[in-house]
Amino acid sequence: QKEVEQNSGPLSVPEGAIASLNCTYSDRGSQSFFWYRQYSGKSPELIMFIYSNGDKEDGRFTAQLNKASQYVSLLIRDSQPSDSATYLCAVNRGKSTFGDGTTLTVKP
Amino acid sequence: DTEVTQTPKHLVMGMTNKKSLKCEQHMGHRAMYWYKQKAKKPPELMFVYSYEKLSINESVPSRFSPECPNSSLLNLHLHALQPEDSALYLCASSQEEGQAGANVLTFGAGSRLTVL
């Protein structure tokens, strides 16, 4: 079992729709959880981090954490073509471990 | 502009060459990292330098050797690399290693390495 698993992509949504990205992790001792966005040929950049159960909202982005289910998600509302990228879930227990990423395409 | 600066952006080297990748951060972060990323794969941690202590991913071959001259600089020395080492090498820093909520990674733009 991989330490961090993301829903297999690619994921395609129309402009203006909600994109839902999911991530599960195996280590119950994980303390903090991150979503990074990576455009093709670029380095990852932080979208959000969360470390308490529940929802955390930042603009069009909402991260959700359920430690009992070992599940993290990222919702992108009103998706834009500029959101097209690979989204990496990272889980930290001392060091960050990345999932394989989900590639999102937002079609105009 | 990123606050983590990596040089060079591109590097082509032969298998017998010795070269170095350089990374600098001016954010006062206490931890610095080297990651390797192959195409369509996630970043893989190679080394962590935190509080003057180096942690090594034991799967990283000895032809890669890190050096930390001071808390804002982290170099990666390359020697006798193989073509399969061709990848994007990412440097990152964080406020502290291992502290919940304080280990957001700030990545540099990366160094694209090609080994011929």
pLDDT for the residue B98: 61
Q: How many CA atoms lie within 13 A of A93 on its CB side?
A: 8
What are the Cα distances from residue B71, in Å, to A47, B34, B92? 26, 14, 13
Copy the structure tokens of residue B77: 């020395």
User: What digits encode the pLDDT tens for the residues A50-75?
Assistant: 989 999 999 999 999 999 999 999 99
- Asked if A88 has any chain B CB less than 8 Å from its own CB, the reply is yes
- Asked if A5 has any chain B CB less than 8 Å from its own CB, the reply is no
Phi (first) and psi of residue A27, to 5 degrees: -90, 110
Copy the structure tokens of residue A57: 């909202």
- What one-letter code names the amino acid at B53? K
For residue B45, the chain A residues in CB contact (below 8 A) are 95-97
CA-based nearest residue in chain A for residue B111: A43
Q: What is the pLDDT tens value at each position of chain B, 116 positions in all?
A: 569 999 999 999 999 889 999 999 998 888 999 999 999 999 999 999 987 888 888 899 999 999 999 889 999 999 999 999 999 999 999 987 666 566 899 999 999 999 99
β-strand partners of A100: none
Q: Percentage helix, strand, coil, to 5, in chain B?
A: 5, 55, 45
Q: What is the rounded distance in angstroms from the CA atom of residue A27 to the CA atom of residue A7?
A: 18
- A102 to chain B, closest Cα gap in Å: 10
Measure CB to CB from residue B108 to each of A31, A43, A46 and give the nearest one: A43
